[in-house]
Structure 1
Amino acid sequence: MRYRVLGPTRAVRADGTAVPIGGARLRALLAALALRAGRAVPAAALVDEVWGTEPPADASGALQALVGRLRRTLGADRVASVDGGYRLCANPDDVDVFRFDRLVGEGSRALADGDPAKAAALLDDALALWTGEA
């Protein structure tokens, strides 16, 4: 599974088909987890990122329900419960923003090494990851 946050937040299966992600809060939760792919995210941080300054009265329960919806959408094994929070079971390279950073770094090194053709190809690949406004 690949995750896209450089543009509208999306999840894409290995075969290229998009996973339909529900409303804004579900996309916000996915984005918050994807930006920390493979790392634990405290529940309080997720509540802040999903609801901002107006969390629901039972923020913990609302987050658990939202995580349950995300698991049903992506697959139960894609979001793990960890001590005090949740973790998206993904490698950073599964998330477009991290691939973008890697490709830009490789392109910059290729340019510094005197290989402008390779640099252009890598930087074009990085720019192609953008799919719209963030």
Structure 2
Amino acid sequence: MGTDEAYVTDNGSVRYRIIGTTQLLNPEGTAVAVGGARLRALLTVLALRPGRTVPVGHLVDEVWNGEPPADAAGALQALVGRLRRAAGPGAVASVEGGGYRLDAEPDDIDLYRFERLAAEGARALEQGDPAKALSRLEDALALWTGPVLADLPDRTAEAARWEARRLDARRARLAAALALGRAEEVLPELAALCAAHPLDEPLHTLRIRALRAAGRTAEALAAYEEVRRTLADRLGADPGPELRALHGALLHTTPDVAPA
């Protein structure tokens, strides 16, 4: 496998991917496949809690999804041995009293690296620096190479929380691009996201703002009417104040002429 420059480290540490297929990356950034579904599940559970002790019982429940083998502790110990051979003997520590700990920092895990970069981007956007925001958010979203926690047997609830954070990051990235005057560029992605999330008012607000910025006032008014009907039909509610204010501004915009 090749080298991932984003994961080359300067401290000799191993890094881990739990977005998409679970992998580890050696200090040079070379991706190393982790063989076996149980082994990948174990690494995923440990990587979700870097530097923290995970009790044996919790690991067994997560790795075997509530159906442990007869000698669960022995089977888990064997898996930990295989993981140490793949990641290095010091990668997983045995903790007195029962449990194991992945010797890693949050930034060594792609999911927490995503979280840090996304938070930095969101702060930059709030502080009026859309260029910095766009850079950080694009770096964060580039880490999203597949389904999050793909190798965790029971991933539904945890994955849903991270998918919501990914959507927040996408929304913020689109807002940053729009603030930089890239309305036409973001419209296709906004249309797709609005179709996938028909009740997400902030997304619809962004799309209508982008249509207005692109000089497509008639389409913006039609998009507002569409979301208004959807909210009424599904929730029995009117659009929120931000959408209503945007609609009022559109009514005072010369049709199909981009504002200065």
Shorter-chain TM-score: what band? over 0.9
Deviations 1:73-111 (A, max 9, x none): 111110000121000000011001111111111000000
Higher relative CO (Cα under 8 Å, sequence separation at least 6) belongs to 1
Distance in structure 1 (CA, Å) of the matches to 2:27 and 2:130 = 31
CA RMSD of aligned residues (A): 0.8
Larger Rg: 2
Tell me the distance in 2 between the aligned counterparts of 1:115 and 1:71: 43
Give the structure-1-normalised TM-score: 0.97
The aligned residue for residue 67 of structure 1 is 80
Q: TM-score, normalised by structure 2?
A: 0.51
Q: How many residues align?
A: 134
Per the TM alignment, residue 20 of structure 1 is displaced from its structure 2 partner at its CA by: 2.5
Paired with 2:85 and 2:32, the residues of 1 have a C-alpha distance of: 11
1:110 equivalenced with 2:124 (yes/no):
yes
**Which residue of structure 2 aligns with residue 3 of structure 1?**
16
User: Structure 2 unaligned runs (5+)?
Assistant: 1-13, 149-260
More strand, by proportion: 1
The CA distance in 2 between the partners of 1:116 and 1:20, in whole Å, is: 37
Segments ≥4 residues shifted beyond 2 Å: none
Report the alpha carbon displacement of residue 133 of structure 1 after superposing the two structures with TM: 2.0
User: 3-state DSSP class of the match of 2:16?
Assistant: strand
CA–CA separation in structure 1 for the residues paired with 2:111 and 2:73: 28
Aligned-partner Cα distance in 1 for 2:139–2:21: 18
Tell me how far apart the structure 1 counterparts of residues 66 and 93 of structure 2 sit (CA, whole Å): 26
In structure 2, give the amino acid aligned to 1:38. Answer: G
Partner of 2:31: 18
Percent identity, please: 66
Residue 80 of structure 1, aligned match among 54, 70, 93: 93
